[in-house]
């Protein structure tokens, strides 16, 4: 929604101001200039990125436009999964948890929280480190170092669309100049025509520079920034898991370990202590889900 509102404000201000100055809007409509600019931008994007990044960039654009970051409910569900796994490990030991982390799709704990199970990345992250914990040989500082390394890898993968879109945004002004130069070349071929026709051709050529700069700073650049914001929000669940499990490995009770994870959630999305206790206390939301 923010993208649509911002685009309307930006384009409306530009075209409205131009029309208010007495400019003719029909001069700006130069479809072949747009074809040159958009086609070259797309071509350079395809050249510069592997297929995986191209595909992920499409997904990232949709996520950015729809603001698909995790919400408070997602964080609560993740804390609920972690609490059940930690409680199961303390109560029944390795045998009680192993089946859940080996086959999360068949686990009653994960099935009770479908939002978490639907996120294959975070589910795999939780299961992998719960396996390391139940093996019992790894030390907390070794687990932390491994988590940090994996988080850096995940962050690099998730922000590849941001870097790809940033490169496109940086190239658009120059691509707009190319379109303008081509328009000038066309105009030079009409020097023997009337001044009115020649002026129209030069004006049409300059539209390329205008469109290239506007698309760079008014559309693609801001979209790239929004992709970065949304993808960094999607990293937050991994930090929650990291802090919760490390606290648990250090000897904290499951409910206390959850507080370590809860504190890493941004304040606008952070559930209160009472909400977490209600979700995870016996007979609360967590057990109700598990029974379901």
Residues 157-191 pLDDT 10s: 999 999 999 999 999 999 999 999 998 888 888 77
Residue 55 has a pLDDT of 95
Question: Does residue 261 lie within any of the structural domains?
Answer: yes
Binning pLDDT at 50, 70 and 90, where does residue 211 land? very high
Contact in structure between 182 and 36 (CB atoms under 8 Å): yes
Question: Does residue 2 lie within any of the structural domains?
Answer: no
The rounded mean pLDDT for the chain is 89
Question: Does residue 9 lie within any of the structural domains?
Answer: no
Question: Does residue 222 lie within any of the structural domains?
Answer: yes
Query: Residue 287: pLDDT above 60?
Result: no
**Cα separation, 155 vs 138, whole angstroms:** 24
Q: Which two tokens stand for residue 202?
A: 């030069």
Query: Residue 136: pLDDT above 60?
Result: yes
State pTM to two decimals. Answer: 0.86
User: Count of CB atoms within 10 A of residue 56's CB?
Assistant: 19
What is the mean predicted confidence (pLDDT) over 201-221? 91
Query: Residue 253: pLDDT above 90?
Result: yes
Binning pLDDT at 50, 70 and 90, where does residue 286 land? very low
Question: Does residue 150 lie within any of the structural domains?
Answer: yes
Question: Does residue 182 lie within any of the structural domains?
Answer: yes
Domain, as residue range, for 256: 31-292
Question: Does residue 260 lie within any of the structural domains?
Answer: yes
Query: Residue 198: pLDDT above 90?
Result: no
Q: Using alpha carbons only, what angle is made at residue 36 by residues 43 and 39, rounded to the nearest 5 degrees?
A: 25
Q: How many domains are there within the chain?
A: 1
Question: Does residue 1 lie within any of the structural domains?
Answer: no
């Amino acid at each position: 929604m923010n993208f649509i509102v911002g685009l309307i404000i930006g384009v409306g201000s530009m075209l409205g101001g131009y029309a208010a100055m007495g400019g003719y809007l029909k001069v700006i409509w130069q479809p072949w200039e747009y074809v040159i600019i958009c086609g070259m931008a797309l071509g350079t994007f395809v050249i510069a990125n592997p297929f995986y990044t191209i595909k992920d960039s499409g997904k990232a654009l949709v996520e950015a436009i729809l603001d698909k970051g995790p919400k408070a409910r997602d964080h609560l569900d993740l804390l609920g999964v972690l609490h059940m796994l930690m409680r199961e490990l303390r109560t029944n030991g390795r045998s009680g948890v192993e089946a859940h982390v080996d086959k999360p799709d068949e686990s009653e704990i994960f099935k009770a929280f479908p939002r978490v199970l639907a996120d294959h990345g975070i589910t795999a992250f939780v299961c992998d480190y719960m396996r390391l914990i139940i093996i019992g040989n790894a030390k907390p500082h070794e687990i932390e170092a491994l988590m940090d390394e994996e988080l850096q890898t995940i962050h690099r993968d998730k922000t590849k669309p941001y870097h790809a879109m940033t490169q496109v945004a940086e190239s658009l002004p120059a691509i707009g100049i190319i379109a303008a130069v081509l328009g000038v070349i066309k105009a030079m071929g009409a020097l023997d025509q009337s001044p009115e026709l020649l002026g129209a051709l030069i004006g049409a050529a300059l539209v390329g520079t205008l469109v290239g700069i506007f698309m760079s700073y008014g559309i693609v650049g801001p979209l790239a920034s929004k992709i970065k914001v949304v993808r960094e929000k999607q990293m937050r669940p991994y930090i929650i898991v990291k802090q919760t499990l490390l606290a648990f490995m250090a000897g904290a009770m499951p409910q206390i370990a959850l507080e370590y994870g809860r504190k890493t959630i941004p304040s606008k999305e952070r559930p209160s202590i009472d909400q977490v206790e209600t979700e995870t206390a016996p007979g609360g939301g967590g057990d109700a889900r598990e029974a379901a």
